[in-house]
Amino acid sequence: MTARILVVDDVPANVKLLEARLLAEYFDVLTAGDGQSALAICEKTPVDLVLLDIMMPGMDGFEVCERLKANSRTAHIPVVMVTALDQPSDRVRGLKAGADDFLTKPVNDLQLMSRVKSLVRLKNVSDELRLRAQTAHTIGLQDLARPDRPDEPGNILLVDARASSQERLLRALKPIADVSIISDPQAALFEAAESNFDLVIVNANFDDYDPLRLCSQLRSLERTRFIPILLVTEQGRDEMVVRALELGVTDYVMRPVDPNELVARTLTQIRRKHCNDRLRASVQQTIELAITDDLTGLHNRRYLDNHLKLLMDRAAARGRPLSICITDIDRFKHINDTYGHDAGDEVLREFANRVRATVRGADLACRFGGEEFVIVMPDTTPEMAAIVAERLRLMVESRAFAIPQADTVHPVTASLGISSLRADGDTPEALLKRADMALYQAKNNGRNRVVAAAA
Ligand code: GH3
Ligand code: MG
């Protein structure tokens, strides 16, 4: 993981110390000795994380944080406030100023690295989302270009053996999330796999159960491996924390738990989970958009070009038949000319619906171009294909198409050409070409008919 981290502190020795540790982990480090220059750096350079001291002459850390969060160009940069242990009120102020997390002086390595890595991971996914939103906006896909949504409340599973600590943690978490509580770790694993949690908090307080066992099981199950895990553990159990982080536990808090710290870390993990979920959904959506025809919702030509070869190879390998049908609406130009382009679009949509209603689930229906559609039918002989094509022809002819723009209906017919896979070697281009020639025949023979290519 590489990231650019800005260390802000007015005491040069403190800056040097943090800088050295971060450099040792191969982070890229920038430094600032006061609030003004920190703000200037964040404006000018891409920064992935700010480690911010509170007590500084002139502008203090709270104000720097508030200003960063108020500026749309820097609001997305995570801020970690470096606070003194004996000043719990600083954390409340820090949260109000928009801080994402806290580090306590003197800063220990484990804390430093887990906080930094956790927030840099969050920044990476949210950056990717912002980038995609930008691209989507540029190419006019408003649906994908939604700006960052406000934080949605999270769903937390709290695994905790003791009623007293359950109570205490619940009090801190209730204002920011829906919390389910389970005391038995095995039951918790099932619950996590069954429901949709954004975070599992594991309190390491079981009498004779190793909490890391649950963490590792959560990491290995398909249904739970993307859920962040926050471990709550005893002060001084550093070796357990190190093992937990190695296992893929996302973050930790030490007992006695400071509610503000718990809230900050919980919010970070929930945000990251939501960002990740949206990222995965957006990848899925992008794929669907790339292979779908906008107007009709059928697959588009790009998809057919890629998929037809696969279907043909599979049929050939199994010695199964495969047929395709190209269909073209008759005198479609006339519909456009009479009722307008929008009415034409409406007819295309309805035509696609009738195609969809005719074919089986295993068939592949695509919009090939303007008013031309292709249906690929695996496991279908030429005779069967002729029956399907005839059924579609009738479906189109039998019921006139609604033209809402002119408040009328219009009779529509289509011509269809079919061709079938040759056993002695065939290509998608040749198969399509034969169906296209048959379609041309159907048009020549008077339209509104099915013609099969010669075998
Ligand atoms: P034929 O029976 O010989 O197929 O005659 P036709 O009028 O259907 O064929 P032609 O190729 O002459 O015209 C097709 C028209 O389809 C021309 C084009 O403007 C129109 N078209 C292509 N794509 C779209 C579309 O997405 N929406 C609309 N409304 N019209 C389209
Ligand atoms: Mg036509």
**Residue nearest atom 19 of ligand 1, based on CA coordinates:** 333
**Is residue 371 among the annotated active site residues?**
yes
Task: For residue 307, give Cα distances in angstroms to 291, 368, 387, 439.
Answer: 11, 13, 24, 22
Q: Which ligand is nearest to the CA of 294?
A: 1
Write phi, then psi, for 209 (nearest 5 degrees): -145, 135
Q: Which residues of 238-270 are buried (b: 16+ CB within 10 A; e: fewer)?
A: eebbeebbebebbbbbbeebbbbbbbbbbbbbb
Sign of the alpha-carbon torsion through 4, 8, 13, 18: negative
Pick the CATH number of 301-452 from 3.40.350.10, 3.40.50.2000, 3.60.20.10, 3.30.70.270: 3.30.70.270
Quote the ligand 1 centre to 335 CA distance (angstroms): 9
Using most ligand atoms within 8 A of CB, pick from 335, 336, 342, 413 the residue to mutate for ligand 1. 336
pLDDT of residue 451: 98
**Residue nearest atom 4 of ligand 1, based on CA coordinates:** 330
CB of 403 shorter than 6 A to ligand 1: no
User: Of 371, 372, 390, 397, which one is the catalytic site residue?
Assistant: 371
CB of 448 shorter than 6 A to ligand 1: no
Give Cα 347 distance to the centre of its chain: 34
Q: Which ligand is nearest to the CA of 341?
A: 1
Instruction: Please classify residue 394 by burial: count the beta carbons closer than 10 Å to its beta carbon, then call 0-12 exposed, 13-18 middle and 19+ buried.
Output: exposed
Q: Which atom of ligand 1 is nearest to the CA of 330?
A: 2
CB of 363 shorter than 6 A to ligand 1: no
The CATH 3.40.50.2300 portion of the chain extends over 1-107, 108-289
Give Cα 341 distance to the centre of its chain: 36
Q: How far apart are CA 120 and CA 27, in angstroms?
A: 11
Quote the ligand 1 centre to 301 CA distance (angstroms): 17
CB of 331 shorter than 6 A to ligand 1: yes
Q: Which atom of ligand 1 is nearest to the CA of 347?
A: 29
- Return the CATH fold of 108-289: Rossmann fold (3.40.50)
Q: Scanning the structure block, which residue is given the tokens 């033209």? A: 403
CB of 417 shorter than 6 A to ligand 1: no
Quote the ligand 2 centre to 329 CA distance (angstroms): 4
Q: Domain 1-107 sits in which CATH superfamily?
A: Response regulator (3.40.50.2300)
The pLDDT tens digits along the chain (455 residues) read 679 999 999 999 999 999 999 999 889 999 999 999 999 999 999 899 999 999 999 999 999 999 999 998 898 899 999 987 667 788 888 888 989 888 888 888 888 998 898 888 888 877 777 777 766 666 655 554 454 555 678 999 999 999 999 999 999 999 999 999 999 999 999 999 999 999 999 999 999 999 999 999 999 998 898 899 999 999 888 899 989 988 889 889 999 998 988 998 999 889 888 888 887 787 777 777 888 999 999 999 988 988 899 889 989 988 899 999 999 999 999 999 999 999 999 999 999 999 999 998 889 999 999 999 999 999 999 999 999 999 999 999 999 999 999 999 999 999 999 999 998 889 999 999 999 999 999 999 999 999 999 87
pLDDT of residue 450: 98
SS3 363: coil
pLDDT of residue 145: 46
- Token reading at 408: 């009328």
CB of 60 shorter than 6 A to ligand 1: no
The CATH 3.30.70.270 portion of the chain extends over 301-452
Q: Residue 324: name the closest of 436, 221, 423 by CA.
A: 436
Q: Is it true that the peptide bond before 106 is cis, omega within 30 degrees of 0?
A: yes
